[in-house]
């Protein structure tokens, strides 16, 4: 009887560990690089569209974006049912719809194409997203994000939201990333940075840390 009880407990423990391992493999993850100082008024750069892109058609996506601290994030994302999208998020999508927006890109890029992304702090509690030099959105900052009337830290991010642990791609990279200074000029992304390599889920290979270049494998546990 003792042997049977021990066997049952062992099986339960094994199932518990296996379930936990599977759960960790799904969800959100990212590779992020953020400045250490809050001296900047915008950030701009080019993202190269990755090859061998696979994303589950279940609400999963991958995204490549630039941001103003935790106030506003803007860039491009890929979902199978919409293709490549441009987005700007300055609030919670469910409760502050006026502060978030996303629409498909009119011209869908292919692997190896470069897209210029720029996110600008307007210093009036709004931010603007530019795609290839054309203004896409100007949105107010939602209350959940505080206010945006002064300079902030800036960041670049490669991220994944994966509901089945199947997202993957090869060779996504930022290039020519620059920050906007108080006098309006743009200079190279600084070296005094706060890296996160990587965060959350996702089997990332980081080819370059500044600017970020990554590949993503499926099947991380």
Q: Hunting for tokens 């919670």 — which residue is that?
A: 92
Please answer whether residues 35 and 156 qualify as being in contact, where contact means their C-beta atoms are separated by less than 8 angstroms. no
Report the predicted TM-score, pTM, of the whole model to 2 decimal places: 0.86
Read off the tokens for 105: 């890109």
Residues 6+ away with beta carbon under 8 Å from 150: 38, 123
List phi, psi (to 5°) of 50. Answer: -75, 165
**pLDDT tens-digit map of 37-92:** 999 999 999 999 999 999 999 999 999 999 999 999 999 999 999 999 999 999 99
Going along the chain from its start, the domains and CATH numbers come out as 27-217 (2.60.120.1270)
In the chain, pLDDT over 70 holds for what percent of residues? 86
Mean pLDDT of 97-106: 97
CA distance 85 to 9: 49
Return the pLDDT at 33: 94
Read off the tokens for 11: 């099986």
Read off the tokens for 93: 């999508």
CA distance 28 to 62: 10
Rounded mean pLDDT of the chain?
A: 87
**Bridge partner list, 216:** 169, 204
6 preceded by cis ω (within 30°)?
no
**pLDDT tens-digit map of 113-145:** 999 999 999 999 999 999 999 999 999 999 999
Straight-line distance from the first to the last Cα atom of the chain, in angstroms, rounded to the nearest whole number: 35
CA distance 87 to 80: 16
pLDDT at 176 over 80: yes
């Amino acid at each position: 009887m003792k042997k049977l009880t021990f066997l049952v407990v062992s099986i339960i423990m094994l199932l518990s560990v296996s379930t936990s391992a599977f759960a960790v493999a799904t969800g959100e993850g990212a590779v992020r690089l953020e400045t250490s100082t809050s001296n900047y008024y915008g950030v701009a750069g080019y993202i190269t569209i990755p090859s061998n892109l696979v994303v589950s058609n279940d609400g999963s996506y991958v995204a490549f974006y630039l941001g103003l601290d935790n106030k506003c994030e803007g860039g491009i994302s890929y979902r199978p049912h919409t293709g490549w999208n441009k987005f700007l998020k300055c609030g919670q999508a469910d409760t502050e719809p006026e502060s978030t927006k996303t629409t498909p890109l009119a011209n869908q890029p292919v692997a190896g194409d470069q897209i210029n992304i720029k996110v600008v702090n307007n210093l009036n509690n709004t931010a603007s997203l530019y795609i290839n030099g054309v203004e896409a959105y100007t949105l107010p900052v939602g209350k959940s994000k505080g206010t945006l009337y002064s300079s902030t830290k800036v960041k670049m991010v490669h991220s994944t939201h994966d509901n089945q642990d199947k997202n993957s791609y090869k060779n996504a990279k930022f290039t020519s990333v620059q920050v906007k200074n108080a006098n309006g000029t743009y200079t190279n992304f600084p070296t005094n940075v706060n890296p996160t390599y990587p965060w959350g889920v996702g089997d990332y290979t980081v080819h370059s840390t500044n600017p970020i270049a990554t590949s993503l494998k499926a099947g991380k546990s």
